[in-house]
Amino acid sequence: MRGLPCSNSTSLFNFYIPVAEYLDKSPIQFGQISSIQSSSTPLSQDVTLPSLSLPENPLLSSPQPVSLPFPISHGTTTLAFIFQGGLLAAADTRSSCAGYVEGPAAQKILPIHSHMVSTTSGTSADCALWKRILSRELRLYQLRHGRRLSTSGAAKLLSHMLHPFKGTELCVAAILCGWDGEKIEKSVDPSLEKTQSSFSSVGGQQHLAREKRKGSGPCMFYVCSDGTRLQGNLFSVGSGSPYAISVLDQGVKWELTLDEATSIAREAVYRATHRDAYSGNHVDIYHISSKGWIRRSREDLKEEYYREKERRERGMTQIVTLSEET
């Protein structure tokens, strides 16, 4: 682990940066310090580095956890799953605090880059801050290396940055949904395996090359503020997740079409908002594929209520008709 120049300060933003080649094969330069400055050579007193520490604050410098003036209750419903058409992420839009509904139109799915979005659950300010930090680091990585960092690398990076805050009042629970681009590498194969190689002519000479496909397709990780990092094909996070997961377990399949997956995600959020008072209002749905993410139009959950009502009435009509015929 490498520290920042302000490692002796009391700032909470002294991240533990993973060593080189830990997140990916190429080292990541985070932009805070250069490789020369991070070496063991002591700096002269004439050189002044920009301080990244926050102003002195007894709340920040105190080693003991600071109690909040009132208890904060977190309420939300977020979900994401993988199907044959890519990834689908959905969330409600109600923002609550300590039993009060603060806003009906919060955005709980935040784009990270062109092929990645993140659902957010927890404290709104913390989620927005760490989304910006992660977006910045991924953009810097792309500019330095000419390619996007994989979803696995992004989840590992976020997990390492959040781990030092374990045990504090920080509350962030995110589902990273991304599509990793296809990378093809060619290497000489001395074993002459015909099933895994192809001939190519370079300068009149025959060379045996083998193509390797790495990290292509949808990928999804759950990252929590205590450093937890889990990979899976289906996640639901928030106070309404127990109700949403029951719908997802029953309906999510690999063979789903985009319309069917959207309908299941919408119904799962609707079921959660029907039982959970801290979730409700609207539903946001994002579809992530090889072409990037697409945000579907925000829909009021009362429309799903009317559709459910029509289905029940139609079912009752069919039952009455069958009973009359018999």
Instruction: Examine the residue annotation and report whether 123 is marked as an active-site residue of this protein.
Output: no
Cα separation, 261 vs 257, in Å, equals 6
By the 8 A CB rule, do 84 and 256 touch? yes
By the 8 A CB rule, do 90 and 58 touch? no
Handedness of CA 165, 171, 175, 180 (dihedral sign): negative
By the 8 A CB rule, do 259 and 70 touch? no
Pairing mode of beta strands 282-289, 299-300: antiparallel
Q: Which residues, at least 6 apart from 241, have a Cβ–Cβ distance to it below 8 Å?
A: 77, 78, 79, 272
Position 107, amino acid: Q
Q: In this structure, what DSSP letter does residue 172 have?
A: E
CA dihedral 6, 8, 13, 17 (to 10 degrees): 80
By the 8 A CB rule, do 167 and 104 touch? no
Cα separation, 212 vs 124, in Å, equals 41
Q: 10, 41, 48, 76: which one is catalytic?
A: 76
By the 8 A CB rule, do 101 and 123 touch? no
b/e code 207-219 from CB counts within 10 Å (16+ = b):
ebeeeeeeeeebb
Residues carrying an active site annotation: 76
